[in-house]
Amino acid sequence: MTKKRTISIILGIMCFALTFGIFVQVRTIKSTDSTISQNQEANDLRDEILRYKERYDNRFKELEEAEKELETQREEATQNDSALKEAQEKITTGNKITGMTEVTGPGVTITLTDGKGIATSTLNPSELIVHDLDVLSVINELINAGAEAISINEQRWVLTTAISCRGNTIDINGERIGAPFTIKAIGLPEYLAGLERIGGYLEYMKQDGVGVNLEKSNNITIPKYSGVINFEYLKNVEE
């Protein structure tokens, strides 16, 4: 009897290990969203990309941790010195303005999706697509309405941000971004919602058949700029 019991326990443990492994593996592969192709070369390339992406994510996490560490160290160092404390506060406000920290506040979320109309039924199919200039115009109007921080698909709009066309995607902060575009802006929601006024750019896009959606919210979080701003030629004028 005892022998049978040990056998059944061991077999149970083995079945547990096997099914556990299979389920974890299936979920992992599902999350990477990779389909197995019959082409060995394509498989290898995809494998490599996924590996590099993972490494990049890990490095990014390390960087974030290091930045947090720097912040705490700074706070500790400036705890007892009022002059240093002032400088520290200056740095935090400066970072908030230049986009080096995550910020939150009231504002609006604008979603721009490519028009669903049939391309041949309109005179100009290009009108149905959200272009880089459309995004740029919307951002211009947002800044005009007093937006204090803007992000496009989680890419923070900073001093050095440029938007350019890259075929069927657009390039923001050196990252390729495709439709639909989610533009988040922090500012007075009533002012920012004024973008929907008749004669505004959003109205114009709607007439073209582009999907436009504007939502007010009291709680919008805009991520920080992940790159580095490096000015080489800028100098203060000495008086």
Partner 1 sequence: MIFIAILIGCILGAILGLNAPMISYTYSSYLAIAIIAALDSVFGGIASVIKKNFDLKIFVSGFFGNAILAILLTILGQKLNVDIYLAAIVVFVWRMFMNLGAIRRYYVEKWTDMIKNKATKEKKEENKEKVNEKS
**Residues binding partner 1 (CB under 8 A):** 4-5, 7-25, 27-29, 31-32, 50-51, 54
State in angstroms the smallest separation of the CB of 63 from partner 1: 18
State in angstroms the smallest separation of the CB of 7 from partner 1: 6
Q: Which two tokens stand for residue 198?
A: 């008749």
Nearest to 187 by CA among 107, 132, 78: 107
In the three-class reduction of DSSP (H, G, I as helix; E, B as strand; rest coil), residue 145 is classed as coil
Q: Identify which of residues 33 and 238 has a Cβ nearer to partner 1 in the complex.
A: 33
What amino acid occupies position 99? G
State in angstroms the smallest separation of the CB of 193 from partner 1: 40
Q: Identify which of residues 29 and 229 has a Cβ nearer to partner 1 in the complex.
A: 29
Cα separation, 150 vs 226, whole angstroms: 14
Q: Identify which of residues 62 and 69 has a Cβ nearer to partner 1 in the complex.
A: 62
What residues form DSSP beta bridges with 172? 163, 175
Whether the upstream peptide bond of residue 180 has omega within 30° of 0, thus cis, is yes
Cα separation, 174 vs 49, whole angstroms: 18
State in angstroms the smallest separation of the CB of 28 from partner 1: 5
Q: Identify which of residues 10 and 162 has a Cβ nearer to partner 1 in the complex.
A: 10
